[in-house]
Amino acid sequence: MGRSLPQEWIDGTLHTLNVVRDLGGKGNIPHTSLSVVHQKPSANSRKTKNLQWRFLPEKAVDPRPFAGKTNRGRGKRIYIDGTCGTTDPWKAAKVAVAVSQKKWQDLLSQSQVREVEKHTLCRSIGTVGMPRRNWNRGTTEVVG
């Protein structure tokens, strides 16, 4: 990561640095949208100078429920994010890559566990004792 920082970042007008494009990040980055961000303090937040990291995976590969959307799939997609614990953008980029890889792997493993539990639940409930509509005869019969 041997590039210089963009002048807008130095001036304070730019609040987001893309790890790949602006900082020259290489390696196993979970998504090209991984960025290091100055968090704007709000009235309820801590007034920290530490940088944050965030990325938003493609909707098709997002392992989170509802592909990361809020409001049970009807709201806006939210970033996967965390803190870097430093104010230095170069160190923050290294931390962001390492921590986001771990977070991505955790999300994938949680998704696989949910999928296995869903299939196990479906097999255990199955259709035994559940009413099923027989569309050919127009009647309902109990299977099992």
In this prediction, residue 66 carries a pLDDT of: 74
In this prediction, residue 133 carries a pLDDT of: 56
Assess contact for 102 and 65: CB atoms under 8 A.
no
In this prediction, residue 2 carries a pLDDT of: 55
In this prediction, residue 64 carries a pLDDT of: 76
Spatial separation of the C-alpha atoms in residues 101 and 5, rounded to whole Å: 24
Q: Where are the domains of the chain?
A: 7-132
pLDDT per residue of the chain (144 residues) written in tens, 0 to 9: 457 888 888 888 888 888 888 887 777 777 778 889 887 766 666 677 888 888 888 777 777 777 777 787 778 888 888 888 898 988 988 888 888 888 888 877 887 777 777 767 666 555 545 555 555 665 555 554
In this prediction, residue 105 carries a pLDDT of: 84
48 φ, ψ to 5°?
A: -95, 150
Q: Chain centroid to CA 71: how far?
A: 16
In this prediction, residue 134 carries a pLDDT of: 57
In this prediction, residue 124 carries a pLDDT of: 59
Spatial separation of the C-alpha atoms in residues 108 and 53, rounded to whole Å: 19
